[in-house]
Structure 1
Amino acid sequence: MAAANDPASPPFGAFAPTRAQQALISLAHRSRLKRGAFRPMLSRLVNLLRAGPVDVQYQGASFRFYHQASATERGALFNPDYNLEELDFLRARTPAGGVFVDVGANVGTYAMVLAHHLGAGGKVIAIEPHPVTHARLAFNRTASGFRQIILVAAAVGPSDGELMIETDGDNLGASHIVTGKISGNAIKVPSLRLQRILDDANVSHVDALKIDVEGYEDRVLTGFFKEALPSLWPHAVVIEHLSRSEWLEDCIADMLTRGYAATGKTRSNTLLVRGSA
């Protein structure tokens, strides 16, 4: 079967759910089966009905979900409220025509949704270093027809250069920067400072930013806030805190000293706003 980064990959709609698959997905949407504990089982059942990805609409965008080996793609496929609190927070603080930055964009479940919200006059910077995941992100952008999304195939780090990333287990979305011993499945990717990425994209202000880089958030943000002018600091931030034990510095505490306030917290993320944003 053609992969997302294969030029011969069938167009969006080629893997529309079969009637049986759609019945199972719909059952999950309206029941407790949409919860995380049940999603791997549902994914196996959907795959038994027809192996391969599934083409669906999610939050106003078109996605080809390779749900079998991606917790994020399973979540968005089976749960219509997946990350909804975070998405609503970002949409409420990002005006039409505004700018949204997605650090660790994965397959675009934030970037595509915010692009739909911002409209053609907006700008989304979607940053994803893993080549397989980036190819899926690019496919979803094309399928959704969102020309306002700028894709960056690089990791974000404290300096420009290269970093090693690796994936634990079979969850592609959990790819992370290698900070210790390098395993056999690690791959080398370009690394860019966030300031550099924004400069290259001609961004002069950021309405909202989401960052999920599996414990590397501090090395992305601490240097950025030291380097960037306050006019470039995002007004609203969603930051994953599940791996904060791996931070060398508490970047949330650093943001609080810079005028941000934590206005909410979900199981996975802390929601912050700057000043009266």
Structure 2
Amino acid sequence: MSEAMTLLDTRSPFGTYKAERMVRAAWRLADRHDLSKSLRKRIRALVARFFRGPYDLEADGLKFRIYPGENYDDRKILAKGRLPEREEHRLIEPYLGPGKVFVDVGANIGSYSVFAAGLGADVLSVEANPQTADKLSFNVRANDLKNVRIVNTAVGPREDTMPLWLEPSNCGFATLVKDLTTGEWAGDWSPTFVKVVPLTVLADDENLGRIDVLKVDVEGFEDRVLLPFLRHAERSLWPRVILLETNCRPYWSEDCLPELASRGYKVTGQTNDNMIFELEN
């Protein structure tokens, strides 16, 4: 199936698209890390021609409609049969539950948002890519979650309109940082213009009185989301816990880590791609 023929279906009921054994086996092969990176990439491109998706499946007890031909998280869910961020979930789970507030900036298809909402937290999911936001909305509905609000916008230091760079093989890796689209992550990137609002404005618009856990995963733009918020928001609105993606740290304009430390945040956990910070009382 060609890329142009990929079906975006957010209307038919969950369970419409079965991931048969051959589909799962093909994507497990494409995810084999004992193969070289270049070989894995060629296999992935071949598998994506025939098994792009969508497929409906459950992972860790949660329901997702996935499109593995066009998103990394979807490929991982299908290949491994579980959510790709189990370790991060374990680290933030103690801070989630009924009465807690989780803000997910860069929500992608919802692997964090759906997880947090399933624990009973009130969730604000923020996703800049309109098509990905539609997929996220479907996954929220598939899990019958009433405690998730979705906002289709980008977050940044000021109100603006900016190009969001998209790569068709990994729509979850959309970025506002053009420099990231070359070198290691070079690909078939193209821009779409999106609205950008500061997190302080978003918090005010959504009447947030507190944030228990803030996750920021926006491919190299994390500093421009987080630091303006900490500098302008009332201290009472500072998150108790911040999950910050750091694997694109070289693309930050400012290093978040020293400022987080100076404002009383200490590192309480770390994974390959993320760091967890907790605000000391």
Q: TM-score range by the shorter chain?
A: 0.7 to 0.9
Q: Give the whole-Å Cα distance in 2 for the aligned partners of 1:2 and 1:166.
A: 19
Deviation at 1:72, TM superposition (A): 1.5
TM-score normalised by L of structure 1: 0.85
- Deviation (angstroms), 1:214: 0.6
Deviation at 1:185, TM superposition (A): 2.0
**Is the 2:17–2:56 contact (alpha carbons within 8 Å) kept by the matching residues of 1?**
yes
**Matched residues in 2 for 1:13 and 1:250: separation?**
44
| Counterpart code for 1:18 | E
Report the count of equivalent residues: 266
Match of 1:191 among 193, 196, 200: 196
- What is residue 220 of structure 1 aligned with on the other side? 225
> 1:160-179 alignment to 2 at 5 Å?
160-168=159-167, 170-179=169-178
Residue 157 of structure 1 corresponds to 156
Partner of 2:146: 147
Residue number in structure 1 paired with 2:213: 208
Unmatched runs of 5 consecutive residues or more in structure 2: 182-187
Secondary structure of the residue aligned to 1:109 is coil
Instruction: Work out whether residues 102 and 127 of structure 1, in 8 Å CA contact, stay in contact via their aligned partners in 2.
Output: yes
Question: 1:137 corresponds to which residue?
Answer: 136
Secondary structure, counterpart of 2:272 in structure 1: coil
Match of 1:249 in 2: 254
Structure-2 change in CA distance of 1:221 and 1:181 (3 Å): closer
The CA RMSD over aligned residues, in Å, is 3.0
Instruction: Show the counterpart of 1:259.
Output: 264
1:88 matched to 2:90: yes
SS at match of 2:190: coil
Going from structure 1 to structure 2, the CA distance change for 1:68 and 1:133 (only over 3 Å counts) comes to: same
**Which residue in 1 is equivalent to 2:184?**
none
- Deviation of 1:43 after TM superposition, in Å, equals 8.6
> Percent identity, aligned pairs only?
31
Which stretches of structure 1, 4 residues or longer, exceed 6 Å deviation after superposition? 34-40, 180-184
CA-to-partner distance for each residue in 1:7-45, whole Å, 9 max, x for gaps?
Answer: 6x42211012224445x38x95xxx94889698647955
Q: 1:35 to 1:137 in 2, by over 3 A?
A: farther
What letter matches 1:69 in structure 2?
E
Query: Matches of 1:12 and 1:140 in 2, distance apart?
Result: 9
Q: What SS class does the counterpart of residue 15 from structure 1 fall into? A: coil
- For 2:18, the equivalent position in structure 1 comes to 16
Structure 1 unaligned regions, length at least 5: none
Which is further off, 163-172 or 224-233?
A: 163-172
Residue in structure 2 matched with residue 230 of structure 1 by the alignment: 235
Q: What amino acid is aligned across from residue 52 of structure 1 in structure 2? A: G
Once the two structures are TM-superposed, the CA of residue 223 in structure 1 deviates from its matched residue by 0.5
- Contact persistence 1:39–1:78 (CA under 8 A): no
> Compared with structure 1, are the counterparts of its residues 66 and 113 closer, same or farther at alpha carbon in structure 2 (3 Å cutoff)?
same
Q: Which region of structure 1 is more displaced relative to structure 2, 177-186 or 59-68?
A: 177-186
Structure 2 contact 110–136 (Cα < 8 Å) conserved = yes
CA contact (8 A) 2:14 2:65 kept: yes
**Deviations 1:240-271, CA, capped at 9 Å, x for gaps:** 11111111111122111111001221110111
| TM superposition shift of 1:95 | 3.0
